[in-house]
Amino acid sequence: MNLTDSNEKLLPGPEIVAQTVYNQPQVKYPPEVVMNAIAAETTLPNTDIIQVGNTVFMGHTGTGKNKHKMVGRAFNADTGLNFVKNAFKYTRYLQEKGITHYSTTFTGPVFLNAFKVFQRRARGTDTEIGIGRLKKDPNQFVVYMRIGKEPIAKGV
Q: What is the 3-state secondary structure (H, E, C) of 12-54?
A: CHHHHHHHHHHCCCCCCCCHHHHHHHHHHHCCCCCEEEEEECC
> Domain containing 53 — which CATH number?
3.40.630.30
| The model's pTM | 0.92
Q: Are 4 and 12 in contact (CB under 8 A)?
A: no
Residue 73 lies in a domain: yes
What is the residue-level pLDDT of the chain in tens, covering all 156 positions?
A: 689 999 999 999 999 999 999 987 666 888 999 999 999 999 999 999 999 999 999 999 999 999 999 999 999 999 989 998 999 999 999 999 999 999 999 887 878 888 898 888 888 889 999 999 999 988 899 999 999 998 776 545
Residue 6 lies in a domain: no
Kindly write down the DSSP assignment for every residue of 99-122, as one continuous string: --EEEEEEESHHHHHHHHHHHHHH
Residue 38 lies in a domain: yes
Residue 2 lies in a domain: no
Number of domains in the chain: 1
Residue 155 lies in a domain: no
pLDDT at position 109 is 80
Residue 5 lies in a domain: no
List the domain range (segments joined by +) for residue 70. 13-146
Residue 35 lies in a domain: yes
Residue 137 lies in a domain: yes
